[in-house]
Amino acid sequence: MKKIVIYPGTFDPITFGHLDVIQRASELFDVVIVSVLENTAKRPLFTKDERVEMIKESIKGMNNVEVDVFDGLLVDYAKRKNAIAIIRGLRAVSDFEYEFQMALMNRKISNGITTVFLMPHEKYTYLNSTIVRELARLKSNVMDFVPTFVAEKLREKFS
Ligand code: PNS
């Protein structure tokens, strides 16, 4: 049986921090499904299709990584996908409280699904999509934080 894992998120947009986590997960599991939450109260800058396209471009060459879209409860989706675990990135203590609550709640409302936390390289500790969007909006260079085509998409959005 293949060990399938879900890596859920908004990915608005995908960053080098996300990609670092995906790479690590792909070395631990047989299949990694990067799962884009379609409807979120966060009102994303990019549409679902744009976010999926940027992820697809970013994971080219990672043979056991797929992209998918989901809506509704994450644990129901994970069950439908036969996933054995959920991956979340943990950058700093500030992430911990929210992630801890979500992991325990997901475990409680499912048949005990495990959340596996992976720490991206420490050079990405300060990196998140919100900051990248803000930098791009203010016309700062984001090439150190996202792949080239994502930087280009950000430039188009704010031009
Ligand atoms: O990258 P994000 O925005 O921090 O990801 C948050 C995400 C998508 C993992 C979370 O919002 C989620 O799982 N949403 C689906 C709805 C759900 O299952 N909510 C209950 C969580 S305890």
Q: Which CATH number fits the domain that encloses residue 50? A: 3.40.50.620
So what's the pLDDT on residue 69? 98
The C-alpha atoms of residue 64 and residue 24 are separated, in whole angstroms, by 12
Q: Whose CA is nearest to atom 2 of ligand 1?
A: 9
* Centroid of ligand 1 to alpha carbon of 9 (angstroms): 6
Total number of domains constituting the chain: 1
The C-alpha atoms of residue 112 and residue 96 are separated, in whole angstroms, by 20
pLDDT tens string 105-141: 999 999 899 999 999 999 999 999 999 999 999 999 9
Q: Which domain holds residue 95?
A: 4-157
Buried b (16+ CB within 10 A) or exposed e, 90-122: bbeeebeeebeeebeebeeebeebebbebebee
* Centroid of ligand 1 to alpha carbon of 105 (angstroms): 11
pTM score, whole prediction: 0.97
pLDDT tens string 11-66: 999 999 999 999 999 999 999 999 999 987 889 999 999 999 999 999 999 999 99
- Pocket (CB within 6 angstroms of ligand 1): 8-10, 37, 73-74, 102, 105-106
Q: Which atom of ligand 1 is nearest to the CA of 40?
A: 11
Q: How far is CA 19 from CA 83, 98, 154, in A?
A: 20, 21, 17
